[in-house]
Structure 1
Amino acid sequence: MPVSVGPYGQAQPSCVDRVKMGFMMGFAVGMAAGAMFGTFSCLRIGMRGRELMGGVGKTMMQSGGTFGTFMAIGMGIRC
């Protein structure tokens, strides 16, 4: 299968590379959103110290993974 070439001569990324890039972008955005919402919700219920860091970290990983998965699916559909 020939490699598609862009308008300036560089090769286009494969579909797998696009899906991985979509996951990474979604994971980064989800982690940022999880940091904001996780910090707010953990402080609201009265967490402090190590418990706060654990709660915020868990929220960041969950939201990053969820949003990354949906972005990867979206990039896969676009291929």
Structure 2
Amino acid sequence: MLVAESPYGQFQPSCFYRVKMGFVMGCAVGMEARTLFGTFSCLSMGMQGRELMGSVGKTRMQTGGTFGAFMAIRVDIQC
């Protein structure tokens, strides 16, 4: 959703759109980082199969949500 127009004729995204995109980008970065580090740590503990996938999946969602929330707050402060 485009709202304000700058003096140069280009539209600026709304604050809500920026916060939403900050949350989405934070989720993506947090989930991928946890996938890499979580997989290696679970493999080093000897997990296999369903136990490995369940553990990595759960921590991946938690980390993605947390990092996404912090990114959304950061963008909201900046608006």
The gaps in structure 2 that reach 5 residues or longer are none
The residue aligned with 2:53 is 53
> Partners in 2 of 1:8 and 1:29 — Cα distance?
33
Q: Do the aligned partners of residues 45 and 4 (structure 1) sit closer, same or farther apart at CA in structure 2, a change above 3 Å counting?
A: same
> Partners in 2 of 1:27 and 1:78 — Cα distance?
19
Please state if 1:16 is matched with 2:28. Answer: no
Show the 5 A alignment for 1:1-79: 3-6=3-6, 9-79=9-79
Deviations 1:7-66 (A, max 9, x none): 653321111110000000000000110101110121121110011011111111111111
The gaps in structure 1 that reach 5 residues or longer are none
> Partners in 1 of 2:74 and 2:7 — Cα distance?
24
Which amino acid letter does the alignment assign opposite residue 11 of structure 1?
F
Calculate the aligned-residue CA RMSD, in Å.
1.3
Q: How far off its partner does 1:6 sit?
A: 3.7
> Partners in 1 of 2:20 and 2:76 — Cα distance?
9
| Structure that is richer in strand per residue | 2
Q: State percent identity of aligned pairs.
A: 70
Runs ≥4 residues deviating over 6 A: none
